[in-house]
Structure 1
Amino acid sequence: MDFVNKLTGAGNNSENRTGENNSGQQSGSGGGFMGKMNNMAGGGAQGEKDEDFLDKGVDFVQEKFIGQGDQSNESAAEQQKDEVISDMIRDKYKGIAGSDFPIKDKEKHYGA
């Protein structure tokens, strides 16, 4: 596991609650190989552009009410977690209201 942490740079910088490492750089926006992999997987700035309003609402609740820090440049894993939450909200809404959620789900663009 230490090898993976050294390879990804996770062992070099400890992160605080806002998702920033000690150098002030956000962990989801890293440069180099891992940053490119994160962007290709749907994270980073492109992933934020692909969010629909429900995904942005999930980010808002996480940032303001749950205290998870800045949500403006999340990793691909965080983006996927938010998508799962918004899909669950859509499914529950449809089950209760009998119609689709009024905000359409945006298609994700990977590999950009």
Structure 2
Amino acid sequence: MFAQPFIENAVEHGLRHRGSGGLLKVDYSFHGDCCIRICIEDNGVGREVSKQIEHKQNHQSLAMKITNERLLTFSKAFKQQFSLKLIDLKDAEGNCAGLRVEMDIPVRKNGSF
């Protein structure tokens, strides 16, 4: 529900433009004792290069909009803060080397959301 839009974006906008050698990692792990961290990482061309290729300088990501709405809805319903971070990855020379998305989803002591 939360990861799917970012997985689609990684394939469509990052890895597709890379050509060969693409890598997509999706990881779910406990982060401390209070939340589940979802981490989606690709080695695609990166957001800036993708915008240049697709000529969409003012593009508003639908994945971001949908996920922010979902996180806001869940935050209100469960009275807990959810977090979302997008981290542009760089190689040793400082070139775009992909994107990492991190989402922290709180869990209650009994393991539920």
TM-score by length of 1: 0.28
TM-score by length of 2: 0.28
Structure number having the greater helix percentage: 1
Structure number having the greater strand percentage: 2
